[in-house]
Structure 1
Amino acid sequence: MNIPDHIQNLISKYEQGLLSATEKKELDNWYHSFDDQQTVVSDVPQGSEDELAERMAVRLQESLAADEERLEPTGVPARKWRTPAAAALIFILLSGVIYYFIQLDNTAAQQPLVLSAPVPAGDVAPGGNKAILTLDDGSVIVLDSAHNGILGEQGDVDVKKLDNGLIAYQNQDGNIPAAEEKIFYNTISTPRGGEYQVTLSDGTKVWLNAASSIRFPTAFRGADRQVQITGEVYFEVAHNETQPFKVTAGKSAIEVLGTHFNVNAYDDEVQVRTSLLEGSVKIAVIDQPDQQQMKILKPGQQARMTRSGRISVVNNIDTEEIMAWKNGLFVFKSTDLRSIMRQIARWYDIDIEYKDNVGMQFTGQITRNNNVSKVLEMLELTEEVKFRVAGKKVIVAR
C-alpha cells in the first residue's frame, strides 16, 4: 500500500495548524485503516511511545517499499540512495504521524505530547504559516499571531481570519459593492520562511509561497479583477465571464476567466514562469499594445518570459514538480543545485555561500517539513557536494 500524496500533505498541514475538521477526520480515518491493532495509539501505555514509533516505522517501511521516495543525482545509481532516503522519509512522516495521533487520542492529558525534538544548535527549522497584512491606510497586521474573527473593515468588506488560520474577504450582508464606492487595496506578503492562503472577495483562492506578495482590491468593481504579485503564487480563480481576472507579475500580464495556474516571478530567477493546470490563460507583455508577443496557454503548458519581455511556451510540463511547494514538498527532477539552493534559502530564511563551482543536477523529493539539515543530508548522499551550516548561512563546497 502506498501512502497517498494527499495524506502526506494532510500530515504537513496538521503540524502547521491548517487542517480543517473534515481533513482531520480524513487523516484519522486513514490512520485507523491500519488493520494492525497494535498501532492504535489509545492501546499504547503511557511511556511506551518509543515502541509505538518502532511499530509505525515498520508499517510505513512496508507502505513505502513500492514508492519512489529517494533522492538521487542525475546519472548516479539509485542503489546509493534507496536505504538512506527511505529511512529519512519514514522519520519525516513518522514524526508528524506520531505527534498527530498521540495528541488526538490522549485527550485527557493536560499537555499534548510532542515527540519532535527542538531544533538543535547549528540547524534551521522549516518555514511555516506566516504573513503580514497591510491595509489600505498603511496599518499592519501580523497574521500568524492575529486572533480569529474580523481583523478589520475595508469599506463594506470584512477582513476575517478563519478558524483554520486562513484569511477571507467577505462582503457585509452579502451585498454587492456599488461601483462608485471607494476601492480599498490590501497587500498580503510572506517573509522568507513563510507561506499563506487567502480567499479574495470574489471567491478566488490564492496560495503564497515564501518571500511572495499579492496586492488586491478588497472588492472587485468595474470591468475586470486586477491583482499584482511578486514571488510565487498559485491561483484557483472563481469563474466570471463578465469580469476577467488579471494578474501582473513583472512584465507579464496574465488574463483568465476562471482557471488554476501558478506564477513564479521571483527577482532572483531569470524568467517569469506561468504554468497552467486547467482552463485557459492569455499571457502578454505589459506596455506592448501590438500584442506580438501574446500567447494563449492550454493545460500542461508553461509560458516563460525573459526580463526583456520575450515569451516562449513549453509543452508537457511536470506539474508535480511545479506544485510541490503548495503540497508541502521539495520535488527535484534534473534540477541544478543552484536552483535547489534558491528554494531552500527562501523556505528556511537562510543565505547561501558557494566556496566552489557546483553544477550538478539532482532528482528526488523530500518534505519541506524538515529542519534544513535533513534536506542537506539527502543532497550530501551523492558524495558530490558538502554543506556547512553557520548560523543563518549555508556554505556549499565540493
Structure 2
Amino acid sequence: MPQHHVMESSTLAALIRRYINDELTETELSALLETLRTDEHREQWDTAMAALLQDTTAHGHTDPATLEKVWERLQPPPPAIHRPRSLHTIRKWVAAAALLAGVAAGTYYFTQQYTPPVKPASKPATSTSLAVKPGTNKAVLTLADGTQVPLDSTGSGALALQGNSRITQQRNGQLTYTANGNASTTLQYNNLHVPRGGQFRITLSDGTKVWLNAASDLHYPTSFGPGDRRVELSGEAYFEVAQQANHPFKVVVNSSEVQVLGTSFNVSAYGDEAFTRTTLLEGAVKVKSLQGEARLRPGQQAQIHTGGQITVKDDVDMDEVVAWKNGYFQFNHEKISGVMNQLSRWYDLDVTYQGTIPDREFGGHISRSSSIEDIIRILELSKIHVKVDNKKITVMP
C-alpha cells in the first residue's frame, strides 16, 4: 500500500495557484493529483482553497476577463479519483472559488444529488434587480407618547428624554439608553421596529445589548423598575444580558418566556417559521411555555412548537445561528424555503413559488452585503431559477 505524507497547506496552495496558471511540471502535477486520493489532505485542501478564495489577485473578481479564465482553470484534474468524498470537497471549493468572482468570500453548495457547477451566463443587470438592495441599518423608534422617529446609520446625537433615561443615537446603527441611576417606579415603554431590509442595535438602560434582525420588534421599558427586567420580542434578536442577580431578565415571545441568568443567547421567533428557537451561547437560560419548561446549557437550542411543546437540540452550530449578527448568511442543510425566508427579510422581497421546486438542501455562507445579482447567480449555478420583478422574486424549478 503506498504511503501518503501530509503536505503543508502553503505548499499545496502554491501548487493549486500554479495549476490554475498552467505552470506545473509533470512531477508537481503528479504530487497535486496524489493529494486528491487521500483523506489526510482534506483539511489542507480546505485551508489552501480558503486562502485562494480570499486572495483577489488570484481570481480578479472585478475583472470579467479574468473570471472567464478562472472558470476554465478551476476544474478538478482529470484522472479517476478513488475517494469520492475527497472529490466532492474539491468540487465544493471549485464552485466557491468561481462564485467568489461575484461574491467576495462566499461559499455555497447544494447537497443531495451534486451537480457540477455551470458557468453563469453574462447578463446585463436589469433595472428591477438593481432596485433590490441588501439591508442596511434602519429602524423606527416609537416613543412613549406615540411619536415615531426614523433611524439609520447617518444620524447621531441625543434624541429624547424618556422617563429616567436619555436616548442617544450613534452613527453605526445603534441606539443607547442611559439611565440616571434611579429605578423607575412608573414604567414608560418604547418600541423599536426593524423593517424588512434592516437591522439595528440597542443598548438598554441596564446595559443589556440587543442586536435586532430584519422584520423584528422589541418592546421594552425606557428604564427598568425594581423587579424583573422584562422585554417583548417578535422576529429575531441576539442578546448579551447585563448581570443583575436580584433582577432577572426575561424575554417574552408569543406565549413563551425566556428567563435569563446573565448570558448570551439568540431568539428567533418569526411567524412564518415552524417553531420558535432559543439558542444559548454562554451562561444559562430557562425557557417556559404553556406545556412545560427546559433549562439550556451552552450549545443547546430550545424549539417551541405550535401548542407549546418544547424540544431541546444539542450541539447546535453556533456560527450558523449568529451568522446574521456577524454580517453573513450561513446555512447547514437548509431547505430552499428557509433560504428564501432569510433573503426575503434582508432584501425586502416577496417570495412566490412556481411549479415543483427540487427538494434540495443548501449549505455555505455569504456576506449579507452581496447584491441580489450575486444571489441569483449562486442559485442558478445549482439549477434553481429565479426571476426578480420589482420587489417580487419568483422561484422556479
Q: Same fold (TM over 0.5)?
A: yes
Superposed displacement of residue 78, structure 1: 5.0
Match of 1:89 among 84, 100, 103: 100
Alpha-carbon distance in 1 for matches of 2:89, 2:373: 22
3-state secondary structure, aligned to 1:342: helix
* Structure 1: distance between partners of 2:222 and 2:154: 19
Work out whether residues 125 and 373 of structure 2, in 8 Å CA contact, stay in contact via their aligned partners in 1.
no
| 1:261-300 matched pairs, under 5 angstroms | 261-285=265-289, 288=290, 293-300=292-299
State the SS of the aligned residue for 1:122: helix
CA distance in 2, matches of 1:179, 1:139: 21
Matches of 1:389 and 1:52, distance apart in 2:
24
Cα distance between partner residues in 1 of 2:183 and 2:301: 37
Q: How is 1:9-48 mapped onto 2 (pairs within 5 angstroms)? A: none
**Partner AA of 1:130 in structure 2:** K
- Whether the aligned pair in 1 keeps the contact of 2:155 and 2:171 (CA below 8 Å) is no
| Counterpart among 118, 132, 136 of residue 140 in structure 2 | 132
Aligned counterparts of 1:136 and 1:316: Cα–Cα separation in 2: 41
1:177 to 157, 174, 182: 182
How many angstroms apart in 2 are the aligned matches of 1:228 and 1:293?
20
Picking from 236, 241, 246, the partner of 1:237 is 241
Q: Is the 8 A contact 2:153 2:173 kept in 1?
A: no
Q: Is this contact kept in 2: 1:212–1:232, CA < 8 A?
A: yes
Alpha-carbon offset, residue 151 of structure 1 = 0.4
Give CA deviations for 1:233-254 in whole Å, capped at 9, x if unaligned. 1100011111010000112200
Q: CA deviation at 1:381?
A: 1.1
Check the 8 A contact 1:276/1:297 in 2, yes or no: yes
User: Compared with structure 1, are the counterparts of its residues 195 and 145 closer, same or farther at alpha carbon in structure 2 (3 Å cutoff)?
Assistant: closer
Any unmatched runs of 5+ in structure 1?
3-38, 40-50, 66-73, 95-117
Gaps of 5+ in 2: 1-8, 11-55, 75-84, 106-123
* Equivalent residue runs for 1:1-398 within 5 Å: 77=88, 80-89=91-100, 91-93=102-104, 120-123=126-129, 124-144=132-152, 147-171=155-179, 175-180=180-185, 182-285=186-289, 288=290, 293-358=292-357, 359-383=359-383, 385-398=384-397
Change (3 A) 1:120 1:170: farther
Does the 8 Å CA contact 2:248/2:260 hold for their aligned counterparts?
yes
Structure 1 position 156, deviation (Å): 2.2
Contact 2:61 2:101 (C-alpha < 8 Å) held by counterparts: no
Return the letter of the residue paired with 1:340: V
TM-score by length of 1: 0.71
d(CA) in 1 for partners of 2:231 and 2:385? Answer: 41
Query: Is 2:164–2:184's contact at 8 Å kept on the other side of the alignment?
Result: no
User: Percent of aligned pairs with the same residue?
Assistant: 41
Offset of residue 298 of structure 1: 0.4
Amino acid at match of 1:373: E
Which consecutive aligned stretches of 4+ in structure 1 deviate over 3 angstroms post-superposition?
51-54, 76-84, 90-94
Query: Highest CA radius of gyration, 1 or 2?
Result: 2
Shift of 1:91: 4.3
Conserved 8 A contact 1:232-1:262? yes
